Structure 1
Amino acid sequence: MSASLTAPPAERLPLRLKIMHGLGSLAYGVKENGFSTFLLLFYNQVIGLDAGLVGTAIMAALIFDAFIDPVIGEMTDRTRSRWGRRLPWLYFTPLPLAIAWMLLWSPPEMSDAATVAWLIGFAIIVRALVSMCEVPSIAIVPELTADYDERTRVMRYRFLFGWGGGLVLLVLAYGVFFNGAKGLVDPAGYFPFALTGALVMLGAVMLSAAGQHKRIAVSNLHEKRPPARLSHIIGEMRETLSNRAFLWLTFAALFGFVNQGITFALNNYLLSFFWQFSQGEMVAYVFLLFASMIAAFLCVAPLSARFGKRDGAIVAGAISIAFNSAIYFSWMEGFFPGLPGKPSVAWMFGLVFIANSCSIMLMILSSSMMADVVEASQSETGRRSEGLFFAGYFFMQKCATGLGIFVAGMILSFAAFPAGAEPGQVAQTVLGNLALGYMLAILVVGALGLMVMRRFPISRADHEARLALLDDAARAEPDANAAHP
């Protein structure tokens, strides 16, 4: 193991650096909001494709695209430049991403088959380009600090900006782009929606890279791997991704991201048709989501300090599943406040606030746990593979999100949800089936994920002991080299 492979110092980072790092996740937040909240609705209700067909197309595109991620991760780990491993990707990818994003939301008039092909093609391109921004960006986290708790603090800034970017776009969508009589199905609103998202993604990634340039370009973690045959590279990738901690964490997170895909894909259906929110309530709901992000930002570090990352994630996940399921169970049983008239918006907001805050804390802690896997693998393989690990994580996330959107489409088909529906005109039996399908899906999938999470093997003590061993090995190497010139 060379000295270049020492872990970074376990230190606290300047606030400015955390903010500039987190800013890069705006692009991911914009993309995730668009894909998970609007894409199914756009191609189903605006373009006119069947919901099940759209869900299947999105799932196929995302799973195909997901196989690109490990390649991107390995390429970023092997990139050599005077700017280090990550920065070239962050400077040269945002412009093509902005262009592809615009084209995704601008399909020309053509047959249904051609429209599905357009959707699949540009969904793959957009998500691949987002990965070329997000994988090297988040892979910087383990390079910034090895401190167990500071990694969680850094990750919360990524989630703050990621959620913030998506929610700002959501506010603009509900309050500006779709404020006409047609609401979310107004075709004219989707061009300014897409253009705003493209500009935000372009600016955020470039500014984040520039703000971290001085720190990352001079990092001592620019591992020099010799040229290797493709078979050797594939063998190293297989060895790295076979790490036990990585596999358990990825398997657990798969269930969580399936639930997220289901929830985001159905969110506009639930708000518009189930809860029948007015435009003002829609905008208030977005601010509620941002408030829940702030709550998660403030509470996640104390939660991790009290329980550790794994157990804190399990506690947060269990609370989120319980409260989210209770919303729809109480509606179906007829004792949700406000029934038999319009359900109480205040009660719904309160329950969603708790459920969403805990869900975000679960995701922050899971991402921070992935950063700790880097040193666990380094102690086994002698390589630091930040990019490959986070790419593998995104591989799983894309497959899971695509599966979640597919399940959402199947729930809509199970409920016999009509195309071109009008709020207030959907039959109660349809809404009841929608609530039942959604509640059962998130309850079963979420519970399975938390059971798997219990198997994650890295604790605070494990991580700190491993850092000490790596540091001792790095110090011993120069002494050995001096003794044997």
Structure 2
Amino acid sequence: MDNHINAQDNYITGKLPWRERLSYGASDFACSFTFSLIGTYLMYFYTDVFGISAAAVGTLMLVARVIDALDGPFWGIMIDHTHTKWGRSRPFLLWFNAPFTIFTILCFTTPNLPMTWKIVWAYVTYIGIDVLYSAVNIPLTSILPSMTADPDERVVLSTIRSLFSNFGGTLISVIALPLVGLFGGANNPRRGFFWLAVLAALVFFVIYLFVFANLRERVQTRQSQKPLPIKTSLKALKRNWPWLIVIGLNFVYWLGMQTKGQVTIYFFKYNLQEPGLVSLALFFNAVGLVSVFLTPYVVTKIGKKRTLLGGLLISIVGQLILGLGAWTLSTVTVILGTIVGNFGNGFVGALIAVLLADAVDYGEWKNNVRAEGIVTSASSFTAKFGMGLGGAITGLLLSIGHYVPNKTQTAASLFSIEANYVWVPLLALVLSFILILFYQLTPNKERIMRQELNAKHQKEAAEDAAFSN
């Protein structure tokens, strides 16, 4: 028994076993495999398959995401209030696995209803899937600071998670339309999308059972071993400047990525008139795997802040190249911009979760409150609110441009698609870059924080051991 405890203690400040590392990565493969299907294709499914107007879909996405964004703090508070033999975050991976699986299928189910009831169905299923996604995804971020206190191991875990996430999102994006054709034939995309959703949901369900079985929460403090009152949890946010910067980044960055991702199929279908290249363009999301893989090495050389700024700058350059391709209607230039932009995005995606884990430590360091749930869930709140606003912007611009599904588009309609695909994301990336310039958790300050927290935890552990004896 004592040997087991010692081994667990070693993992707190050292490398975790590969089984656990890969399980943590597999969790976001499952999330991306299902939720990228929704983020990339659901708007197109609503407008061109289910028959709902772009304006109605845009309103739906804003309302749904605002409602859903409010549930982020709720799940964070629930995590901080949870105290089980499995830990705080880990139980949610089991409890909400099946509900999320069911709603994934319902989102792409098309009952034969009047238009008003179609919209009602879309609201219920879309809000449901968003709320349940928070229940299964927020714990992945909140569990990271509890898995290990080692900053290098956190970067490794976040890198592995981002690699799997990128691969899962790219895979479903590339195979989605071919599978829709396979399952539904040339004339029945409704059936095709339904069975694609069934496949994605089953993949998620099986992987999450595996993830729950293998993850462990090792970093235990006095506070983490008992439920935290809401008032106490909120103290972790007081003067937590790293957290404020990260949630601002999450809002702006994901707003831009949402507008771009959900009109990819529109841009290639109508602007470039190359619908067959959608899967190829989405395949190049895999370029981000390279930068994600390089992230731990780059961080050791130049630090987290400079790595993140470099990634955003590369993404901005890629978006400018994309704009040139949209202006000249050059497919080659568009693909080049896509490749460059995705390379930069890989660094950004790999580091956001790490910065959030650092914000958990910062909240404990400055305010003596360790609240993984509320700190990480607030980031989900802002990211989802940004994505909701991005969805509304897309619907609004398509409506202003008088977009009509499956028709030859007007110049105004084509520009509205281009604005969503190129210019809104570009603005979001520039604002994200400016935000990170103000990030002030320097390597030296972080080192001092780690040393003081480790000393505090060791003192608490010694006192508790003495008391129990």
What TM-score, normalized by structure 1, do the two folds share?
0.87
- Unpaired segments ≥5 residues, structure 1: 1-5
| Cα displacement string for residues 82-101 of structure 1 (whole angstroms, at most 9, x for unaligned residues) | 22222321122111111121
| Cα displacement string for residues 307-343 of structure 1 (whole angstroms, at most 9, x for unaligned residues) | 31122111211220222132223542x3xxxx6xxx3
Residue 72 of structure 1 contacts residue 132 of structure 1 at CA under 8 Å; is this kept in 2? yes
- Per the alignment, residue 424 of structure 2 pairs with 441
TM-fit CA distance, 1:158? 1.4
Secondary structure of 1:178's aligned partner: helix
Instruction: Return the alpha-carbon distance in structure 2 between the equivalents of residues 356 and 28 of structure 1.
Output: 19
TM-fit CA distance, 1:468? 0.6
Secondary structure of 1:44's aligned partner: helix
Of residues 178-187 and 434-443 in structure 1, the stretch that sits farther from structure 2 once superposed is 178-187
1:124 to 123, 127, 130: 127
Instruction: Return the alpha-carbon distance in structure 1 between the equivalents of residues 111 and 214 of structure 2.
Output: 39
- Per the alignment, residue 474 of structure 1 pairs with 457
| Cα displacement string for residues 344-396 of structure 1 (whole angstroms, at most 9, x for unaligned residues) | 43x43232111112112112212211111111111123232222222111111
- Per the alignment, residue 394 of structure 2 pairs with 408
TM-fit CA distance, 1:148? 2.6
Instruction: Return the alpha-carbon distance in structure 1 between the equivalents of residues 50 and 170 of structure 2.
Output: 24
Instruction: Return the alpha-carbon distance in structure 2 between the equivalents of residues 304 and 478 of structure 1.
Output: 31
2:343 to 334, 357, 382: 357
Letter in 2 for 1:288: F
Letter in 2 for 1:366: I
Instruction: Return the alpha-carbon distance in structure 2 between the equivalents of residues 131 and 461 of structure 1.
Output: 34
Instruction: Return the alpha-carbon distance in structure 1 between the equivalents of residues 223 and 248 of structure 2.
Output: 29
**Are 1:463 and 2:449 matched, yes or no?**
no
Residue 85 of structure 1 contacts residue 222 of structure 1 at CA under 8 Å; is this kept in 2? no
Q: Quickly say closer, same or farther: Cα 1:134–1:238, change in 2 above 3 A.
A: same
Of residues 367-376 and 323-332 in structure 1, the stretch that sits farther from structure 2 once superposed is 323-332
Bigger relative contact order (CA 8 A; separation at least 6): 1
Secondary structure of 1:473's aligned partner: helix
- Per the alignment, residue 74 of structure 2 pairs with 71
- Per the alignment, residue 308 of structure 1 pairs with 303
Q: Quickly say closer, same or farther: Cα 1:106–1:437, change in 2 above 3 A.
A: closer
**Are 1:385 and 2:371 matched, yes or no?**
yes
**Residues 63-212 of structure 1 correspond to what in structure 2 (within 5 A)?**
63-178=66-181, 186-212=189-215
**Are 1:241 and 2:232 matched, yes or no?**
no
**Residues 180-329 of structure 1 correspond to what in structure 2 (within 5 A)?**
186-212=189-215, 215-216=216-217, 220-221=220-221, 223=223, 233-242=229-238, 243-279=240-276, 281-290=277-286, 292-329=287-324
TM-fit CA distance, 1:124? 1.9
Letter in 2 for 1:244: W
Q: Quickly say closer, same or farther: Cα 1:184–1:153, change in 2 above 3 A.
A: farther
- Unpaired segments ≥5 residues, structure 2: 1-8
Letter in 1 for 2:282: V
Secondary structure of 1:24's aligned partner: helix
Residue 155 of structure 1 contacts residue 364 of structure 1 at CA under 8 Å; is this kept in 2? yes
Of residues 182-191 and 258-267 in structure 1, the stretch that sits farther from structure 2 once superposed is 182-191
Residue 162 of structure 2 contacts residue 350 of structure 2 at CA under 8 Å; is this kept in 1? yes
Q: Quickly say closer, same or farther: Cα 1:475–1:436, change in 2 above 3 A.
A: closer
- Per the alignment, residue 3 of structure 1 pairs with none
Instruction: Return the alpha-carbon distance in structure 2 between the equivalents of residues 91 and 222 of structure 1.
Output: 25
Secondary structure of 1:12's aligned partner: coil
Q: Quickly say closer, same or farther: Cα 1:430–1:89, change in 2 above 3 A.
A: closer
| Cα displacement string for residues 211-232 of structure 1 (whole angstroms, at most 9, x for unaligned residues) | 22xx43x66357456667xxxx
TM-fit CA distance, 1:239? 2.1
Instruction: Return the alpha-carbon distance in structure 2 between the equivalents of residues 172 and 330 of structure 1.
Output: 25
Secondary structure of 2:16's aligned partner: coil
Instruction: Return the alpha-carbon distance in structure 2 between the equivalents of residues 137 and 429 of structure 1.
Output: 42
TM-fit CA distance, 1:120? 1.7
Letter in 1 for 2:369: R
Residue 247 of structure 2 contacts residue 379 of structure 2 at CA under 8 Å; is this kept in 1? yes
Residue 77 of structure 2 contacts residue 230 of structure 2 at CA under 8 Å; is this kept in 1? no
Q: Quickly say closer, same or farther: Cα 1:221–1:105, change in 2 above 3 A.
A: farther
Residue 173 of structure 2 contacts residue 283 of structure 2 at CA under 8 Å; is this kept in 1? no
Residue 272 of structure 2 contacts residue 331 of structure 2 at CA under 8 Å; is this kept in 1? no
Instruction: Return the alpha-carbon distance in structure 2 between the equivalents of residues 65 and 25 of structure 1.
Output: 20
| Cα displacement string for residues 378-436 of structure 1 (whole angstroms, at most 9, x for unaligned residues) | 11232322222221111111111111111111222233322233xxx434554245324
Q: Name whichever structure is richer in helix by fraction.
A: 2
Residue 243 of structure 2 contacts residue 359 of structure 2 at CA under 8 Å; is this kept in 1? yes
Letter in 2 for 1:398: K
How many matched pairs?
Answer: 458
Residue 47 of structure 2 contacts residue 53 of structure 2 at CA under 8 Å; is this kept in 1? yes
TM-fit CA distance, 1:39? 1.1
What TM-score, normalized by structure 2, do the two folds share?
0.89
Letter in 1 for 2:445: D
TM-fit CA distance, 1:71? 1.6
| Cα displacement string for residues 45-87 of structure 1 (whole angstroms, at most 9, x for unaligned residues) | 1121110210110121111011112121221222122222223
Letter in 1 for 2:352: S
CA RMSD of aligned residues (A): 2.7
Identity %: 21
**Residues 7-26 of structure 1 correspond to what in structure 2 (within 5 A)?**
9-26=12-29
Letter in 2 for 1:46: V
Residue 153 of structure 1 contacts residue 301 of structure 1 at CA under 8 Å; is this kept in 2? yes
Q: Quickly say closer, same or farther: Cα 1:353–1:25, change in 2 above 3 A.
A: same
Letter in 1 for 2:390: G
| Cα displacement string for residues 229-264 of structure 1 (whole angstroms, at most 9, x for unaligned residues) | xxxx33223322332221121112211010111111
Residue 8 of structure 1 contacts residue 143 of structure 1 at CA under 8 Å; is this kept in 2? no
TM-fit CA distance, 1:34? 2.4
